[in-house]
Structure 1
């Protein structure tokens, strides 16, 4: 797609104001959501005020900057360690992510969102690859790779004054808004990709793109995106205008209220990814369905499924189900079960993940987890693999 065609697509796409504080597309892993403590829940309660009580002057300055100039930002650091009983591979992995992200409300209806991060492994294997290292077709530590410094977000959001539509243009991460639900974030929820963005979707790395949506009455919405399918956030460029290799998505969904978009949500997502001009990636396309509902602001059962041509996405077919449970102090527990088939491999693979997130303060979370992978597709000699994990997140 050349520049002229891309401009026409810009005029045809819109973004959706998803929560009372968000001003564009965004799920639990988006900058808008992560700037709010307590998963966007009202009146969150915590055991501690760390780290605000360690540097009250700094946080008072940051609060004043947000109030007077509309600039909100966070620094955070995440660490993940995992250990596997696989009879091949390294058997353990660890890594971290350092991030600086925020949003500047430049005008009444326009804002600039940014995120810079550094992803690194502590040892030979990053958690994202521990599953493959042990013979499973499984990403056991989503986002915890060793990609180095990346520009993940740098986009402008323009929205209607009444929130009926908005547009995002710039460096975007489609996994922030494509096929989202309340437990999608690998930073605060499930760690296995089977329970994050649907593993049958060949989502590109963050890169240049356009995303948008529009409210269709009081409860329905439609969103769409066009993004660089060859994106490399460690070396951002404008090559999409010349090579035309694009990822496209279209989603239509239902929610109980637009302030609860990723809490109460049922949607269907269609997507297509062009083949790479250099032959490194084949064309891929598919569809995904998701249904999740927040009951009594405590229980979130979910059912998610997807199917793809299967040439480039992790799975050709996938079905996931489970439940999340929010408790006082915004602690959260989750359990999920996934069944999947991978392209070109016989048989199927099942994954179970359970975790408990201790929310000690708005700026400190500790999450132990266990993953059980039955019939690892790349290691048929072993009937199952168990992965133990411990994730920590500190926000400043």
Structure 2
């Protein structure tokens, strides 16, 4: 079974609120380095007043209002969530057709210097725990073992409680230059777009960061970003470097400095929010009218010890693109694709849309379809057959019961699952629930 991919692997609300007011000097350059899988992005999204099935006016629960007042007094922001996900597979290679997983997250953000000013220096930390509940495999692993060439739940994996992100970040030069350094979640920065958070939106890796990118996950690194064209321009540039040896809850600083095994990327794009305040539930290139191209490279990887069947690995490299645009105030479409080596897929192309009912701003409907050609070179043992190309479709509806509790039924239909050539199709029925606190 696909050992390299199992070893290597373990979506911010996308639609706009009301039109933004004219920018001030401080917010002319929105942060390019926060999304809902980052600490600050996750906190900011949960603290945004929303309308739901139980409240017709934008509401913020009393607990969240208290946390806002606490942050204003102390410079400390905190919060978290607990989610559960159950997936049922129509076919499986293991005989276990159901996977049940849980995900706990606690986030904290502390202003270290210049509190409340545009150049505030902040320290962010995320503590997480992810595990199967009553089943042998978490949904991440179970989807692959069911035969899908792409994980059917991109980040619902299995690791014990620990620190998964810890970094400093700052915006300087009047917002024109931004940086993040520390232990960070690399996919939050590489080829990200508004629907890539599988806690809130699509579950399949087909619709998150491109499956052609051999990106590390959680480890030491840095990202810098800026607007070279000035506050009135739409051009942005983002670049980063991470250790290729990530660790979910461990520290990888030694790997970054002592092992010549790194992942690099450069992204150039156009952001409709370059001259406007912080956009729709997420920041930077994950805006409602975005185009970007991402170039990346990963060094060759040496075995880490005897019996390491996932290595050696050759150098990996590729290119990916993203286009997402608003069709009207409540509908966003996207088109994404990539070409690369070393990832889950050699080539992929996906498209779809998200729709937010105007009467319930916390709800979201999404539909996506994607094609991927698997990278046979990542299989550690020879196979007597070629892996077929896979077509993945997914539809979901996130129903917000209250401003901090949502349930999401999800259905994935996979044609020619790459890792199970013995079947023509694979159906995955999922139910996700998330409570923010």
With normalisation by structure 1, the TM-score equals: 0.88
- Distance in 1 (CA, whole Å) between partners of 2:291 and 2:29 is 21
The CA deviation at 1:59 is 4.7
Matched, 1:212 2:224: yes
Q: Residue in 2 aligned with 1:156?
A: 168
Query: Structure 1 residues 38 and 62, CA, compared in 2 at 3 Å: closer, same or farther?
Result: closer
> Match for 2:316 among 275, 284, 289?
284
Q: Is 1:324 matched with 2:332?
A: no
Q: 1:152 to 1:63 in 2, by over 3 A?
A: same
Work out the CA distance in 2 between the residues paired with 1:301 and 1:222: 23
Question: Counterpart in 1 of 2:335?
Answer: 303
Match of 2:130 in 1: 119
C-alpha distance after superposition, 1:169-190 (max 9, x if no partner)? 1111111121111111111110
Counterparts of 2:199 and 2:292, CA distance in 1? 23
Q: Secondary structure at the match of 1:36?
A: helix
Partner of 2:410: 369
The 1:377/1:134 distance shift into structure 2, 3 A limit, reads: same
- The CA distance in 1 between the partners of 2:224 and 2:329, in whole Å, is 28
Aligned: 1:138 with 2:150: yes
- Matched residue of 1:381: which SS? coil
Kept after mapping to 2: 8 A contact 1:372/1:386: yes
Q: Note the residue ranges of structure 2 that are not aligned, 5 or more in a row.
A: 1-26, 304-310, 377-385
The structural deviation recorded for 1:378 is 2.1
Superposed CA RMSD in Å reads: 2.2
Listed as ranges, the gaps of 5+ residues in structure 1 are: 1-18
* 2:178 maps to 1:176: no
TM-score by length of 2: 0.80
Task: Give the Cα–Cα distance (whole angstroms) in 2 for the partners of residues 92 and 282 of structure 1.
Answer: 35
1:355 aligns with 2:396: yes
The higher relative CO (CA closer than 8 Å, separation ≥ 6) is in 2
Q: Is it true that 1:105 corresponds to 2:130 in the alignment?
A: no
Moved more, 292-301 or 254-263: 254-263
Greater CA drift, 144-153 or 94-103: 144-153
Greater shift, 293-302 or 349-358, is seen at 293-302
Counting matched residue pairs gives 371
| SS of the residue 1:35 aligns to | helix
Greater Cα offset, 259-268 or 224-233: 259-268
1:242 aligns to 2:253 (yes or no): no
